[in-house]
Chain A
Amino acid sequence: MKIMHCPLNGPRNISEFVYGGEVTTMPDYQTCSDREWAEYVFYSDNSIRIVREWWYHAASGYWFIAERHTATDEIIKTYDASEIFNQRVDFVEKVQEEGGRA
């Protein structure tokens, strides 16, 4: 069984973790096209490269980020999510036309 290094709990069996998908950036949900939104929601790249992924340590309820190579499965590094997400995110309504969002 593979070992993953949790930034909070140290090296643990991979069975202690839950995969949370790739770290992606949400397009502007108010202005993007339907197609762009569908790309964001449904499609993933699935190419050979180092990807940034969300991982969750179930026993401590802790989300963090891992960088992993999709072909070798090597985990290059793991770190706290605050290294990427360090700003409060707010959603502000844009002026909209009648009939719903763009």
Chain B
Amino acid sequence: MIEQMVNFEVRRSLIQAMETDSDRSPSLINQTVFERAGVRGPNSLALLESIGLPVPAKPNTATVTETGELLLRLSNTECWLLSLRAGMNEKVNLLREAVQNAEGVYSLYCQYSHAQLSLTGELSLTGNNLSAIMAKVCGVDLRENAFPTGSIAQTSIARVNAIVVRHQSEEQEQFVILSDITTSEYLWEALLDAMAEFQESY
């Protein structure tokens, strides 16, 4: 029912900003209203495979689809599909359609229960600063050698539960952070505070 995209324009996340100062790196981007969908259940992985999505080999790892969505595997029976750009909705809609009449697969409410933030740094500028920022709010070692691209940590950030994914595109490294939408303004502020000492202009 609620998985169909309606009225994209009237969606509101609690966080009123879309992005921090864009000429400074690292930056924090609010992707809460972007499309995402999740499935869980004994047949969920098979369903994802049947529609051609690259299911990660083990829990707490992520893959990137050919069109650029992130596919997170959170347990043996649960996956989330995230778009990282506004308007990127083809794969997510495909999944929403496929789950409608599938047996042993339950659609999840991550579109609405979670905020999606992206802590993004220019590769040319940041070095290893993103993990240093995260180390101010998170007790899991997220440095690249311990937590390579495609790793997922379901953990606590600034004392709220969150899912953290390390992602890398050509020019940028990012941590995609999914956290309860009702604490998202709080988390936004906490991350800005942690980032301040590392930000540089470019």
Contacts and interface: CB of A to CB of B under 8 A. Distances in A.
Direct contact of A and B (CB under 8 A): yes
B156 interface: yes
Given A58-B161, A59-B162, A60-B75, A9 B139 contact: no
B140 A12 contact: yes
B154 A60 contact: yes
B161 A8 contact: no
B155 interface: yes
B156 A8 contact: no
B156 A59 contact: yes
B75 A59 contact: no
A15 interface: yes
Interface string A57-87: 1111010000000000000000000000000
B139 A59 contact: no
Given A15-B156, A16-B155, A60-B74, A8 B162 contact: no
Contacts of A31: none
Contacts of A60: 74-75, 154
A62 B155 contact: no
A29 B74 CA distance: 37
B150 interface: no
Given A8-B60, A13-B139, A58 B156 contact: yes
Interface residues of B, number: 13
Contact of A62 (B75, B140, B162): B75
B56 interface: no
Interface in B92-123: none
Interface string A1-26: 00000001110110110000000000
B60 A16 contact: no
B59 interface: yes
Contacts of B155: 9, 12, 16, 59
Which 9 pairs across A and B sit closest by C-beta, in order of nearness? A60-B154, A59-B161, A59-B154, A13-B139, A59-B155, A16-B156, A9-B154, A59-B156, A58-B161
Interface of A: 8-10, 12-13, 15-16, 57-60, 62
Given A8-B60, A9-B155, A59-B162, 20 more contacts: A9-B60, A9-B153, A9-B154, A10-B60, A12-B140, A13-B139, A15-B156, A16-B139, A16-B155, A16-B156, A57-B154, A58-B156, A58-B161, A59-B154, A59-B155, A59-B156, A59-B161, A59-B163, A60-B74, A60-B154
